[in-house]
Structure 1
Amino acid sequence: MKTQGDTEESAAQFAERFNRLNQVLYSAEVGRPYTEQEIAAQVGLSTSQVSNLRNGRSLPRADRAHRLAQLYGVTADFFFLPPDAPYVVDVESQLDAIEQERRGVPQHRANRSAGSSAGDDEVRRIAEGVADLPPDMRETVAKLVDQLRQVAGRRRLRRHSRS
């Protein structure tokens, strides 16, 4: 049986991970973390429910946790598993990589999917083609590539969670 302390701890962990996802994973079109109103509209909650979840005042029902997880491309397990669970560690690692990339910190080659192994020639060809574009077009291409990476990362998270 869960005690009041267990529930408060679970709500605090949920809030911490929910806020972390929201700070790191958001649509490139928006270009910023989602507001509570945007989250509420996308997930089917009220803004006060989102606020309570973000502030650790409550825990969501399973269906709502699932919808929130879908918004960020993870499984609901991410919110509830212990910090050392392999899935949580993997998601946190990917979130760290996204934050570092946004700050312009170069990633280790092992953390990059583009340009590795047999696809090097194709990646090189694409990069050379982009380099020939005017600077304003390069920025547009970079935004598109970022969006594709985000989608690909979510797919990897989903595939990983199924295995």
Structure 2
Amino acid sequence: MPSSSRTGSTPDSSDADAIRFGIRLQRLISVGYPEGTKRYTDVEIAASVGVSAQYVANLRNGKSLPRLEKAVRLAAFFRLDSWDYFVKPDDDPVVLAVERRVRALNAQRSGQPPAAVGATEADDPDVAELWTHLKNNRDVQRIASRATQLTPEGLAAVLGVVDQILGSTTPTPEPSDDS
């Protein structure tokens, strides 16, 4: 359960929880979630939630965790169904749904077609293969869920590393049945 700060944290909270909360809050702020029209200021959020702008900044920077009541108010400000987005693991369906919307808003802001971000199995057979791989491979799920938090530059760097690894990997020939 979220707590007021690291110093007054509950035994089950940690720095990692505060950092996760801050990263996700910052993502919502930066895209103007849910409409994508403007970025919110700490002052706007604070006024709506009933806290100080400094408190919002501390949340955003991963220095604090809010109490449940304030986490619920933050979720309401961003029109989330629940505060789960801020605290659930990266592969949780609630988190994945919000992240898809965040990516679509980022694509919209950068002028990319939304279909490229939200393609479905019906749109592209490669997407069907990707989803099958995601459903069946935990490591691929972890990579994909963490990749949603990368900047465009970070994604490019990761893709470069993956391309490099795949380019240097040569398949091992299958033994033939002739012997």
TM-score (norm 1): 0.60
Opposite residue 98 of structure 1, the aligned amino acid is: L
User: Does residue 105 of structure 1 match 2:116?
Assistant: no
Match of 1:150 in 2: none
Tell whether the 8 Å contact from 2:100 to 2:118 is kept in structure 1 after alignment.
Answer: no
Q: Describe how 1:1-163 pairs up with structure 2 within 5 A.
A: 2=11, 6-26=13-33, 31-74=37-80, 75-108=82-115, 111=118
State percent identity of aligned pairs: 39
Consecutive unaligned residues in structure 1, runs of 5 or more: 113-163
Aligned length: 109
Shift of 1:107: 2.3
Tell whether the 8 Å contact from 2:107 to 2:113 is kept in structure 1 after alignment.
Answer: yes
| Change in 2 beyond 3 A, CA 1:27/1:9 | closer
Q: Distance in 1 between the 2:72 and 2:78 partners?
A: 10
Shift of 1:55: 1.1
| Change in 2 beyond 3 A, CA 1:27/1:111 | closer
Q: Distance in 1 between the 2:118 and 2:76 partners?
A: 24
**More helix, by proportion:** 1
Over aligned residues, Cα RMSD in angstroms?
A: 2.5
Match of 1:118 in 2: none
Consecutive unaligned residues in structure 2, runs of 5 or more: 1-9, 120-179
